[in-house]
Amino acid sequence: MNYCIRRSIETDICAFSLTKVQILYVLQCCVFSLSLLDESSEYAPGKLVRSSSSDIDHPNMSLRTMVLVGKTGTGKSSSGNTILGRKAFKSATSSISVTGECRKETGEVSGRKIIMVDTPGLFDTDLSEEELKEELSKCINMTSPGPHAIILTIELGPFTKEDLQTVKKIRAVFGKEADKYTIILFTHGDHLTGGMGIDGYVKRRANDELRQVIQQCGKRYHVFDNTKMNDRLQVVDFLDKVEEMVVRNGGECYTTSVYKDVEKRLREKEEELRKHHEKNLEEQKLKLESKFREEKRKLEDLKVSGEEKERKSKELELLEERKKMVMIEYERYYDEKITESRQEAEQTVFPETVLKEMANLSI
């Protein structure tokens, strides 16, 4: 089964004609419930499954990976915050990139678990080659095995040659096939005046270049007023459009040979880190056992009687309790490290992969 589908608990329902996106959720819940009865299922009773950092917390909830791309100052970070309903990313209205590096945040919105990746000005700012290499690698790592939605943010206003060049660079990195997974998110919706909606704006104000970009993205677009984070209707409507796009794509995330290669490397790195942390835990346990064994031996060797004997007995009990508490803390610490192995692996730069993508940026 495709890894993206497995992670999302998606079902092959794209052949159905849906009038309401909500039907998708009901079907997903039903299919998941049936899978619990299947003894061969990895979720079957008696089978212990260690959840990785990227697993779904609630199995009946759709998982959607989204990446925010666009020119610096178009409101990528603000849009991510609006979707998640909190200030997860640093944001400001300016042409200077506030997001210095790729950031990944998660949240539960409108019945979905969302992984949101915010990107710095990867495609239009003066990053050094080394910085570009590192951030491009993080972007690919954090969205691996591939995004369900590429959110292209465009500010309402004149669509310039610089805007078009940025879009071309984004398209060069992700590939033409990514158009099927891209939705345009217009920002600064508060600039729409006189009762004009986004459809009217596109019809009357969009120039030929912008119309072409909209056409390439399957005429999928939406508008946000990021000054109104509490307007959850705009978010639900946007996520419904994303869901319709995901259904059309068969529930699969966008992937390429690069993503497949990166996912394979990430899993290997994650496993390597997991084993490393497990080994460290066992070593710490052995050291701890030895330390407490020696302390216990010293106490037991003391020649005492009467009240001193009773005191020694209490000290031995306290020592045993302390050993248990320290053991529990070590297990908690390393279990957390093991759980976070995926995030740790995502910080790894894979030079060969990045060089392929950087070559695409030279357009």
Side-chain half-sphere of 29: how many Cα atoms within 13 Å? 9
- What is the identity of the amino acid at 241? K
pLDDT tens digits, one per residue of 222-262: 999 999 999 999 999 999 999 999 999 999 999 988 899 99
pLDDT digit string (tens) for the chain, length 363 residues: 555 554 444 434 343 444 444 444 444 444 444 443 343 333 333 332 233 333 444 555 789 999 999 998 899 999 999 999 999 998 765 555 555 688 999 999 999 999 999 997 777 767 777 887 788 888 999 999 999 999 999 999 999 999 999 999 888 888 889 999 999 999 999 999 888 999 999 999 999 999 999 999 999 999 999 999 999 999 999 999 999 999 999 999 999 888 999 999 999 999 999 999 999 999 999 998 998 889 888 888 887 666 787 888 888 889 889 999 999 999 999 999 988 898 888 988 776 666 666 566 554
Segments making up each domain of the chain, as ranges:
3-255, 260-361
- Tally Cβ neighbours within 10 Å of residue 334: 18
pTM over 0.75: no
The CATH H-level (homologous superfamily) assignment of domain 3-255 is P-loop containing nucleotide triphosphate hydrolases (3.40.50.300)
Any idea how long the chain is? 363
Contact residues for 147 (Cβ-Cβ < 8 A; gap 6+): 65, 66, 67, 117, 181, 253, 254
Sign of torsion over alpha carbons 211, 214, 220, 224: negative
